[in-house]
Amino acid sequence: MKFFVDTADTSEIKELAATGLLDGVTTNPSLVAKSGRQFKDVIAEICQITEGDVSAEVAATEFDTMIKEADELRKIADNVVIKLPLTFDGLKACKQLTDEGIKTNVTLCFSANQALLAAKAGATYISPFIGRLDDIHLDGLEVIREIRVIYDNYDFDTQILAASVRSPNHVRDCAIVGADVATVPPATLKALVKHPLTDKGLNAFLADWAKTGQSIL
List the pLDDT tens digit at each of the 217 positions of the chain: 999 999 999 999 999 999 999 999 999 888 888 888 999 999 999 999 999 999 999 999 999 999 999 999 999 999 999 999 999 999 999 999 999 999 999 999 999 999 999 999 999 999 999 999 999 999 999 999 999 999 999 999 999 999 999 999 999 999 999 999 999 999 999 999 999 999 999 999 999 999 999 999 9
> Whose CA is closest to 101, among 75, 127, 81, 77?
81
Angle, helices 140-154/168-177, rounded to nearest 10 degrees: 30
pLDDT at site 46: 97
Which residue of the set 2, 34, 75, 83 is catalytic?
83
- 159-162 vs 125-128, strand pairing mode: parallel
Residue 154 burial by Cβ neighbours in a 10 Å radius (0-12, 13-18, 19+): exposed
Whether pTM > 0.75 for this model: the answer is yes
Spell out the domains of the chain, with CATH numbers in brackets. 2-192 (3.20.20.70)
pLDDT at site 35: 86
Give the C-alpha separation, 132 to 209, whole Å. Answer: 47
Specify whether 83 is catalytic: yes
